[in-house]
């Protein structure tokens, strides 16, 4: 069978009952030969004999541009940027500070509440009338590495298209690696950050959307926005002002959400998921949430604790294959019937 000429086919509906599909899409590190078969259920698809059933609704939604990817720090690990934990450690090292002498910071760190750690550090080191040393350190630590391999960012840009074919990708990362990847691929798209993100469903609802803010990138002509970094920032965006909560509620009425590069306990997700937990009781029209993460012994139970059902994926066709190698796919509610073994 000849290679798939289209890196992003619009539909899988015409694919036969059992076949092998070779796709040499530019978003893949190497050609991926993946076998997949329909199962006894019309609502699921099995890509390998040993793999779990994958909801047809998810495959269809991605290929039709009806999902939005929300990307976290795990996407940028391959180019050397840190997790939130390591970022916190690096900020302390850069500032020459020691949390062991600060009880509140030490306790919050042990609880993996790094947003609260950084809030305490920022408060006690902030000088009146001066810029936050914490935020200066974060800007330096998250500078775009030279010659970064942006294969995962390019893959996600290929996947993250709306029905009109425009890039529409949501990220909580401050770095501008998605913008760099778009430039490498010759993709023209806008970059928005924080409150300037377009309203879901509006005519300009597209581009690279930095939900928690964006750092400056002089090479691309992008200015730094306000960052949602500390617990105070999260409280303002999700609770006091509430613009982030309103945005995610409106978004979830329109699109299924696929989380990439997060752990279930990440601070960047905590308020978002808690907001949706409350809203799902009141609003039955909210779409499903999926998460792709690397497997770990406790990851399934952590997602389940947040109301997720999980399923393991060992193979994905064509343009989803590279993402499938990141590990299990966890669905927040509905659709997936098989759970983590």
Between 313 and 125, name the one with better pLDDT. 125
Percent of the chain with pLDDT over 70: 66
Q: How far is residue 52's CA from residue 313's CA, in Å, rounded to a whole number?
A: 6
pLDDT at 143 (0 to 100): 93
Phi, psi of 158 (to 5 degrees): -65, -35
Q: Please count the other Cβ atoms lying within 10 Å of the Cβ belonging to residue 101.
A: 8
In angstroms, rounded to a whole number, what is the distance separating the alpha carbons of residues 97 and 91?
Answer: 8
- In Å, how far are 132, 133, 134, 311 from 127, measured between CA atoms? 8, 9, 11, 49
Q: What average pLDDT does the segment 119-125 reach?
A: 97
* pLDDT of res. 230: 97
Taking each helix axis from N to C end, the angle separating 243-252 and 267-282, rounded to the nearest 10 degrees, works out to 60
Please, are residues 173 and 205 in contact by the beta-carbon 8 Å criterion?
A: no
pTM: 0.76
To the nearest whole number, what is the mean pLDDT of the chain?
A: 74
Cα 109 from chain centroid?
Answer: 23
Q: How many residues does the chain have?
A: 341
The model's confidence at residue 311, banded by pLDDT at 50, 70 and 90, is very low
Q: Where are the domains of the chain?
A: 57-80+147-331, 84-141
Sequence-distant (≥ 6) Cβ neighbours of residue 274 within 8 angstroms: none
For tokens 């949602």, name the residue. 228
Q: Which 8-state DSSP code applies to residue 27?
A: T
Helix (H/G/I), strand (E/B), else coil: 44 = strand
pLDDT digit string, tens, across residues 45-90? 444 444 445 567 777 777 778 889 999 998 898 899 999 999 999 9
- CB-based contacts of 110, cutoff 8 Å, min separation 6: none
CATH of 57-80+147-331, one of 3.40.50, 3.30.160, 1.20.1270, 3.30.1490: 3.40.50
């Amino acid at each position: 069978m000849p290679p798939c000429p289209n890196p992003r086919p619009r539909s899988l509906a015409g694919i036969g009952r059992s076949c092998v599909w070779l796709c040499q899409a530019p978003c893949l590190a190497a050609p991926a030969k993946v076998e997949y078969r329909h199962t006894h259920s019309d609502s699921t698809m099995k890509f390998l004999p040993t793999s779990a059933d994958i909801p047809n609704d998810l495959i269809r939604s991605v290929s039709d541009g009806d999902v939005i990817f929300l990307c976290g720090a795990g996407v940028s690990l391959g180019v050397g940027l840190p997790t939130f934990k390591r970022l916190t450690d690096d900020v302390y090292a850069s500032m020459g500070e020691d949390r062991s002498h600060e009880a509140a910071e030490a306790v919050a760190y042990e609880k993996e509440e790094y947003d609260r750690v950084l809030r305490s550090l920022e408060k006690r080191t902030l000088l009146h009338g001066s810029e936050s040393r914490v935020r200066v350190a974060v800007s330096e630590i998250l500078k775009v590495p030279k010659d970064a391999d942006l294969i995962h960012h390019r893959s996600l840009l290929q996947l993250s298209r709306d029905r009109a074919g425009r890039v529409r990708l949501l990220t909580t990362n401050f770095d501008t690696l998605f913008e760099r990847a778009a430039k490498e691929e010759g993709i023209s798209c806008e970059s928005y950050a924080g409150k300037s993100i377009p309203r879901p469903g509006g005519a300009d609802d597209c581009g690279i959307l930095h939900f928690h803010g964006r750092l400056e990138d002089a090479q691309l002509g992008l200015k730094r926005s306000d960052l949602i970094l500390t617990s105070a920032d999260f409280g303002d965006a999700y609770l006091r002002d509430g613009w982030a909560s309103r945005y995610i509620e409106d978004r979830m009425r329109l699109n299924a959400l696929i989380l990439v590069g997060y752990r279930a306990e990440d601070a960047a997700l905590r308020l978002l998921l808690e907001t949706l937990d409350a809203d799902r009781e009141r609003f039955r029209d909210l779409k499903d949430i999926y998460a792709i993460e690397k497997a770990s012994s406790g990851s399934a139970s952590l997602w389940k604790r947040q109301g997720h059902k999980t399923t393991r994926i060992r193979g994905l066709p064509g343009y989803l294959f590279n993402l499938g190698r990141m590990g299990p796919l966890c669905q927040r509610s509905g659709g997936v019937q098989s759970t983590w073994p």
